[in-house]
Chain A
Amino acid sequence: MLAAFPSLRRGRFEISSRRNGHYNCIAWAAGIVDAWWWPIPPEFVEGQHWPEGVPRERTLASFQAAFETLGYVVADDHACVEGVEKVAIFANADGPTHASYQLPDSWWTSKLGEEYDIRHATLEDLHGRSYGSVASILERCDPATYLRHPALRPAA
């Protein structure tokens, strides 16, 4: 993992789940643990969830729109604010690559492909060749969803 994310060498992080190939980073940021969210056309490959009505294209606008279906809006920054959930979308030259979800203690949680979830102190910890860098921050302020993310549930 440190080879793929060299910035983690100087950052603070911990592995926070077992390996699980049933969901990916986008689903995890959305609070979903039983689906693989990626905007690939169903005629190309099945089993890829993408919110109804959102274009299945690998663009930042499509990824933002996917989270907007959950009540998120584009935010100004990633500062941690009580009562506000934030999601960071990463992108490289190919388009969006990854999403992280901010925890109430200001750390972030990320699902790494088919591997495990990690908690990491900063978004820069995942910057690099694999995920590129942060391209957009979104936020949601909804008492019905705040503190309900699966990352906050006690470990089974």
Chain B
Amino acid sequence: MNPSLFDVPDRLSGHRSGIQQYLDERLPSQLVTFVDDVRLDETAPGRFYGGEQVLMQLLRSDEEIRQRFALLVERWETDTTFSSATDEILLHPDYQRILALGIQVVPLILEQLRDKPRRWLWALKVLVDENPAERAADADAAVDAWMAWGRARGLVDG
């Protein structure tokens, strides 16, 4: 099944309440038909390949997402900070819940990337379905590549 595609008009791009209204008016009956392929369409700002999860997340406020993210990160780090087992760290239920929050957590992850790169590089690759750090020689280079990617999209400062 191919990803369903929908466009958000340019005038609404970046305005969450406008996007919500737009979706409420046009898409409620289609929610269950979307697949779970979640990624931005780089060639067309404001366009998403979306799944049901993306639509659900668009309806949450930035503050709700930030609070939920902080709670999940705290629990996840408490459980795994002394672990070397990469599989345990990445398959931890709270890490999976962070991924389930969708693309809106990407700026929050970029804020933490420099401090704990190994914990976040995989999440970024999964969430945005691309890997600007693919040719990075080490974790530091991978962080640099992702931060440049985030700056180019206005997701991180500086």
List residues of A whose CB falls within 8 A of some B CB.
1, 4-5, 21-22, 24-26, 36-38, 40, 45-48, 58, 94, 97-98, 111-115, 130
1/0 per residue B88-122: CB within 8 Å of A?
10100000000000000000000000011111011
Q: Which of A47, A58, A115 contacts B118 (CB 8 A)?
A: A47
* A72 shortest CB reach to chain B, Å: 18
CA distance A38 to B85 in the complex (A): 7
Asked, given contacts A22-B139, A45-B122, A94-B88, whether A4 binds B82 with beta carbons under 8 Å apart, the answer is: yes
CA distance A94 to B88 in the complex (A): 9
Residue contact A26 to B84, C-beta cutoff 8 Å: yes
Residue contact A97 to B85, C-beta cutoff 8 Å: yes
User: How many residues on the B side are at the interface (Cβ–Cβ under 8 A)?
Assistant: 20
Residue contact A113 to B139, C-beta cutoff 8 Å: no
* B90 shortest CB reach to chain A, Å: 7
Residue contact A40 to B82, C-beta cutoff 8 Å: no
Residue contact B122 to A130, C-beta cutoff 8 Å: no
- Sorted nearest first, the 7 A-B pairs with minimum C-beta distance are A24-B84, A113-B82, A38-B86, A112-B82, A25-B84, A45-B122, A40-B86
Which residue of chain A has its CB nearest to the CB of B131? A46
B80 at the interface (CB under 8 A from A): yes
Which residue of chain A has its CB nearest to the CB of B116? A21
CA distance A112 to B118 in the complex (A): 15
CA distance A46 to B123 in the complex (A): 12
Which residue of chain B has its CB nearest to the CB of A58? B87
* A107 shortest CB reach to chain B, Å: 19
Residue contact B81 to A115, C-beta cutoff 8 Å: yes
Residue contact A21 to B82, C-beta cutoff 8 Å: no
Which residues of A have CB within 8 Å of B117? 21
Residue contact A113 to B84, C-beta cutoff 8 Å: yes
B142 at the interface (CB under 8 A from A): yes
Which residues of B have CB within 8 Å of A98? 84
> What are 23 A-B pairs at a CB distance below 8 A?
A21-B117, A22-B139, A25-B84, A36-B84, A37-B84, A38-B86, A40-B87, A45-B86, A45-B121, A45-B122, A46-B121, A47-B121, A47-B138, A58-B87, A94-B85, A97-B84, A112-B81, A113-B81, A113-B82, A114-B81, A114-B119, A115-B82, A130-B82
* A88 shortest CB reach to chain B, Å: 14
CA distance A97 to B118 in the complex (A): 18
CA distance A58 to B91 in the complex (A): 14
CA distance A37 to B116 in the complex (A): 16
Which residue of chain B has its CB nearest to the CB of A131? B82
B30 at the interface (CB under 8 A from A): no
Which residues of B have CB within 8 Å of A45? 86, 90, 121-122
1/0 per residue B43-83: CB within 8 Å of A?
00000000000000000000000000000000000001111
